[in-house]
Amino acid sequence: MRYPACFVLALACDSTATDPGSDTDDDTDLDTDTAPIDDADDAEHAVPLEVDVIDGDTLHDADVDWYSVVGTAGQSFRIQVTNEDEKVAEDSLDTLVEVVDATGKRIAWEDDHPVGDVATYDTVCFGFFPEAGTYFVKVMDIGVFSGSPRQVESTAYNVTWLQPTSPPDEPDSLLDIDLVYDGMTTNSWYGIPVLSDSANDPDYAKLTIESEGGTLVFAAAHHIESSHYQPAIQLFDADAQLVLDAPTLAESDLRLLLGATGTQYELAVVDTAGGVGPTSAMWIFVANYPAAETSRWEVEPNASAAGGNEITLYDQEADAGSWFAGVAEGRLDELADEDWFRFTLPDEAYISVDFGSMTYGSLLQSRVEVWSGDTLVDAAESTGSSDPAIRTAEKHPAGEYHLLVKSPYPDMWGEGYFYRLSAHGTSVQR
């Protein structure tokens, strides 16, 4: 199974039919809804989806559309939603997919997903049906899912139920790999299915990439609540040397990077939970990033406050009373590496720092500190899969400040762990 950069195809469907406003259905959407004609506002009115058949409707504000699918035990699925309007504005629809069983218990959900070139506000949800039966697919704006409905512009979307390839027959060793991902192209994501046929049984795959010097990104599908799989991976080079050995970071979750130096690797994935059967399955995603990604990393050495790279805060924005963020990018590339940056507040201000992965799968277990001389001003640390963010509770005087980036966990250092951060000085709290 291969998901190249063109993984999300341009989907098209005839959505010109309008809602006639049936007199027998008191639970209706607005008149702006498009096909399907029958409203789909709850499980009772859910519109059946067939595999590989495109359907769609229109979402607005707190609207939720329901669809139904009939699955078998252990069957894998991919629910794909693409918005017809991708303005990327504040009122743009940002779809989220939730899959529940007949009792309403959630088995999977997703806001976005790293696979392929899914656009900013599109969604690709992966999962497994734990048993045979009818399941419901709910499509909504992310604000509805989070409990804070937004005023969003009514937007048409396409929804498709796709059936990913099942895992192949289990090989007994690296020498017997029959799952090969050939000629991995730059910036393409590949989905590798893994399944525990027996406790602690590894799944294997071979990866061949087209160019040297790039970065391989690995990520596990998450938000799959019907799966108990906790992945750990090992990666071997063409000489059978172990180049990456990473345990799971959290239940059904794994994100890591590797600075690639070759063009062929063998991947071994094991469920550390020791599970067996249909609910012990997962996808491991791997992407091949170009070597050019390294061109923006911080300048070494910057292991002290005095030698920190400078972050420039731009001119003040008069209406908002804030200085545009200065952005910096860096990499923690060796054991106990500490990266320092510095910035200057031109006036008294609240300080805020946003930290995050430069790409999906980057350093998420991290700590960021703000210093003024020898005084620690504020600090924030990752919690689970959430990146740290700093918002000071009071204003701080004009002058020079320093930022320290490090990891609280020794095994989270290494080649490939890169990040982006930005700093603000604001006259009001953000």
For residue 39, pLDDT over 50 is answered with yes
CA–CA gap between residue 31 and residue 109 (Å, rounded): 28
Instruction: List Cβ neighbours of 238 (8 Å cut-off, separation of 6 or more).
Output: 262, 263, 264, 265
Q: What is the CA radius of gyration of the chain?
A: 24
More confident residue, 395 or 88: 395
From the number of C-beta atoms within 10 Å of its C-beta (0-12, 13-18, 19+), residue 318 rates as exposed
Count of CB atoms situated within 10 Å of the CB of 8: 17
**What mean pLDDT is predicted for residues 15-23?**
33
Strands of the sheet containing 350-357, edge to edge, are: 316-317, 322-331, 418-426, 350-357, 389-391
CA–CA gap between residue 220 and residue 216 (Å, rounded): 14
- DSSP assignment of 19-72 equals ----TT-SS---TT--SSSS--SSGGGPEE--BT-EEEEEE-TT-EEEEEEEE-
For residue 127, pLDDT over 70 is answered with yes
Amino acid at 41: D
Residue 262: the pLDDT is 84
Q: Which two tokens stand for residue 101?
A: 């069983």
Residue 369: the pLDDT is 97
Residue 322: the pLDDT is 58
Strands of the sheet containing 255-259, edge to edge, are: 189-195, 281-289, 215-220, 255-259
Reported as a single tens digit per residue, the pLDDT across 144-166 is 888 888 888 788 899 999 876 55
The owner of tokens 């048993």 is 131
| pTM of the full structure | 0.57
Residue 341: the pLDDT is 93
More confident residue, 366 or 116: 366
The owner of tokens 């959407």 is 29
Instruction: List Cβ neighbours of 300 (8 Å cut-off, separation of 6 or more).
Output: none
**68, 134 Cβ separation under 8 angstroms:** yes
Count of CB atoms situated within 10 Å of the CB of 287: 25
In angstroms, how far is the first alpha carbon of the chain from the final one?
A: 44
Q: Is residue 3 very low, low, confident or very high in pLDDT (cuts 50, 70, 90)?
A: very low
Reported as a single tens digit per residue, the pLDDT across 219-259 is 777 677 777 888 888 889 888 888 888 777 555 666 676 77
CA–CA gap between residue 56 and residue 420 (Å, rounded): 36
Reported as a single tens digit per residue, the pLDDT across 70-107 is 998 878 888 989 887 666 566 778 888 999 999 999 99
Residue 295: the pLDDT is 42
Tell me the domains of the chain and their CATH numbers: 43-162 (2.60.120.380), 174-294 (2.60.120.1050), 297-426 (2.60.120.380)
Q: Which two tokens stand for residue 273?
A: 């939970």
Instruction: List Cβ neighbours of 389 (8 Å cut-off, separation of 6 or more).
Output: 352, 353, 354, 355, 380
Backbone angles phi, psi at 351, to 5 degrees: -110, 135
For residue 401, pLDDT over 70 is answered with yes
What mean pLDDT value characterizes the chain? 76
Residue 4: the pLDDT is 29
**Strand pairing category for 47-48 and 64-71:** parallel
**216, 255 Cβ separation under 8 angstroms:** no
pLDDT above 70 as % of the chain = 71
**What mean pLDDT is predicted for residues 401-414?**
77
What 8-state DSSP symbol labels residue 273?
T
CA–CA gap between residue 97 and residue 111 (Å, rounded): 7
More confident residue, 368 or 243: 368
Backbone angles phi, psi at 101, to 5 degrees: -85, -175
**266, 177 Cβ separation under 8 angstroms:** yes
Residue 170: the pLDDT is 55
- DSSP assignment of 186-239 equals TT-EEEEEEE-SSTTPPEEEEEEESSSS-EEEEEE---BTT----EEEEEEETT
**What mean pLDDT is predicted for residues 114-140?**
78
User: What's the Cα-to-Cα distance from 259 to each of 180, 232, 332, rounded to whole Å?
Assistant: 21, 18, 12
Q: Which two tokens stand for residue 159?
A: 């929804």
- Residue 410: cis peptide before it, omega within 30 degrees of 0: no
**227, 127 Cβ separation under 8 angstroms:** yes
Q: Is residue 315 very low, low, confident or very high in pLDDT (cuts 50, 70, 90)?
A: low
